Amino acid sequence: NEGSLWGGRFSDGPADALAALSKSTDFDWRLASYDIAGSRAHARVLNRSGLLTDAELTDMLAALDQLERDVLDGTYVAAESDEDVHGSLERGLLERAGEALGGKLRAGRSRNDQIATMGRMFLRDHARSVSERLLEVVDALIAQAEAHPYAPMPGRTHLQHAQPVLLSHHLLAHGWAFVRDLQRFVDWDRRAAVSPYGSGALAGSSLGLDPVPVAHDLGFDYAVWNSIDGTASRDVFAEFAWIASMVGVNLSRISEEIIFWATKEVKFVTLHDAYSTGSSIMPQKKNPDIAELARGKSGRLLGDFTGLMTTLKALPLAYNRDLQEDKEPVFDAADTLELLLPAFAGQIATLTFNTERMAELAPEGFALATDIAEWLVRQGVPFRSAHELAGEAVQAAENRGVELWDLTDEEYANISEHLTPEVRTVLSTEGSLNSRSSQGGTGPEAVQQQLAEFKRQLAEL
């Protein structure tokens, strides 16, 4: 079992089928730089506790630097016989530092604490790059909201016309969900910023190695307080995968709307040529593929999260080899979002809104009925009766095939003496919007205040 990390007690090497099953270098190789960073920090802690002389430390660090250069330029790659990134890099170190020196580095560490640490380092970096790209989506939403501060659109519930709202209000509603996702990544990082290095296989080290400076060396705030927890827990991975799937679900919701808005029937948006695709057979087609891929990839992200959670369920402490399955789902989640978000941001930034049509449709479908009812309440009519009277107005308009503002003063008076001609002040999109002026409402001033708070929370991230 030449070159492996665990040959001593075996008289025979692994069967080919086992070696093939066991091998993880195809996906864990991307952790190589993190593993080498961990090795540098580990060499320093061995030196501090007298297990490596200063001269040995210097040679070890030089060999690790050389190894990293060789990995990065592709001179050093995993061999077919390497089980995982840790084993392969130890082989590479031995080749560069010699067996006598290279063989000293493994003291007091295990692949179990290495992989738990490397995974957190990878995810912390990718949480940042995913967040930067998500911020571009949010910026694109802000830019569209600012470009259309007062443009009305039909607000919907059950996909039916409900009440007029401002397009800026609607876009920021999607924006808030993404702001919370960004806040989630920041909050998640407090839990991810704890290093498992020094936990050993599960029980810690007898060599007097202080894990705290190692943690700091690797950019962590703390070292774990429990070596079993450090090597066996993956909730930090799972939480990352959950946040990624929440981002996916939030993307899928705005995607669904974009797809709907781009239909011939709705015609609220035109997609930019650079962010839409054609058909190989139908020359006229212009398809919202980015939105559709986002909607599709939200399923994939949920699959990553669910797969990981299923792996973790009922796993006994401490490390089990099942945990090798923790990496591909979170790698895939990070890769998926890093690929998707730039395209998504471009799609949002280049949407052209058909504001004329949106404004025209905003009050239609009796979307001002609530305004009649609330106007009556302001005249002292109990809401129960007000709701009833506004409903009768809807019925009258519907019977005549007209909208609420087409009913005559006489028709209103016939419904109720309370429905005086003054009701017309709220029978317009503008009147309806202006009246919703309290915090969180769709009134133009409230939306401007909202936008300021939105930006304040973003700046705080």
Of 158 and 321, which has the nearer Cβ to ligand ARG? 321
Identify residues 326-345 at the interface with ligand ARG (CB under 6 A). none
Sole window of 37-45, 107-115, 175-183, 376-384 interacting with ligand ARG (rule: CB under 6 A) = 107-115
Give buried/exposed letters for 343-369 (b at 16+ CB in 10 A, else e): bbbbbbbbbebbbeebbebbbeebbbb
Sole window of 110-118, 141-149, 178-186, 445-453 interacting with ligand ARG (rule: CB under 6 A) = 110-118
Neighbours of 440 (CB within 10 A): 12
Q: Alpha-carbon distance 450 to 169, whole Å?
A: 9
Nearest approach in angstroms of CB 112 to ligand ARG is 5
The residue whose Cβ lies closest to ligand ARG is: 111
Nearest approach in angstroms of CB 110 to ligand ARG is 7
Identify residues 30-89 at the interface with ligand ARG (CB under 6 A). 84
Q: How far apart are the first and last CA of the chain?
A: 51
In three-state secondary structure terms, 218 is: coil
Nearest approach in angstroms of CB 124 to ligand ARG is 18
Identify residues 352-391 at the interface with ligand ARG (CB under 6 A). none
Of 28 and 239, which has the nearer Cβ to ligand ARG? 28
Q: Which of 158, 206, 280, 438 is catalytic?
A: 158
Select from 24, 276, 416, 442 the one that contacts ligand ARG (CB under 6 A).
Answer: 24
Considering the rule CB under 6 A, would residue 117 count as an interface residue with ligand ARG? Answer: no
Select from 179, 323, 351, 368 the one that contacts ligand ARG (CB under 6 A).
Answer: 323
Of 84 and 189, which has the nearer Cβ to ligand ARG? 84
Q: Which two tokens stand for residue 207?
A: 């060599």
Considering the rule CB under 6 A, would residue 446 count as an interface residue with ligand ARG? Answer: no
**CA angle in degrees (0–180, nearest 5) for 58-62-66:** 170
Nearest approach in angstroms of CB 1 to ligand ARG is 14
Residue 148 falls in the annotated catalytic set: no
Helix (H) or strand (E) holding 298: helix 289-312
Of 84 and 371, which has the nearer Cβ to ligand ARG? 84
Q: Alpha-carbon distance 131 to 185, whole Å?
A: 7
In three-state secondary structure terms, 442 is: coil
- Backbone Cα Rg of the chain: 31
Helix (H) or strand (E) holding 302: helix 289-312
Nearest approach in angstroms of CB 254 to ligand ARG is 36
Residue 416 falls in the annotated catalytic set: no
Nearest approach in angstroms of CB 6 to ligand ARG is 7
151: left (phi over 0), alpha (psi -120 to 50) or beta: beta
Select from 111, 120, 148, 436 the one that contacts ligand ARG (CB under 6 A).
Answer: 111
Residue entry with tokens 């990065």? 72
Helix axes 235-261, 289-312, angle to 10 degrees: 160
Question: Among 203, 246, 214, 210, which residue's Cα sits nearest to residue 337?
Answer: 246
Nearest approach in angstroms of CB 117 to ligand ARG is 11
Select from 39, 112, 227, 347 the one that contacts ligand ARG (CB under 6 A).
Answer: 112
Of 25 and 47, which has the nearer Cβ to ligand ARG? 25
Select from 163, 255, 324, 450 the one that contacts ligand ARG (CB under 6 A).
Answer: 324
Nearest approach in angstroms of CB 111 to ligand ARG is 4
CA distance to 16, 218, 407, 424, 431, per residue, from 399 (Å): 79, 73, 11, 20, 25
Considering the rule CB under 6 A, would residue 429 count as an interface residue with ligand ARG? Answer: no
Considering the rule CB under 6 A, would residue 227 count as an interface residue with ligand ARG? Answer: no
Nearest approach in angstroms of CB 322 to ligand ARG is 9
Of 43 and 323, which has the nearer Cβ to ligand ARG? 323
Q: With CB under 6 A, what is the number of residues at the site for ligand ARG?
A: 10
Length of the chain: 461
Q: Which of 148, 206, 272, 279 is catalytic?
A: 279
Give buried/exposed letters for 76-114 (b at 16+ CB in 10 A, else e): bebeebbbbbbbbbbbbbbebbeeebbeebbebbbbbbb
Give buried/exposed letters for 379-401 (b at 16+ CB in 10 A, else e): eebeeeebbebbeebbebbeeee
Of 38 and 248, which has the nearer Cβ to ligand ARG? 38
User: Per-residue contact track with ligand ARG, 150 to 179, x per CB under 6 A?
Assistant: ------------------------------
Neighbours of 441 (CB within 10 A): 18
Sole window of 42-50, 91-99, 109-117, 402-410 interacting with ligand ARG (rule: CB under 6 A) = 109-117
Q: Which two tokens stand for residue 321?
A: 């080899």
Catalytic residues: 158, 279
Residues at the contact surface with ligand ARG, assessed by CB under 6 A:
24, 28, 84, 111-112, 115, 319, 321, 323-324
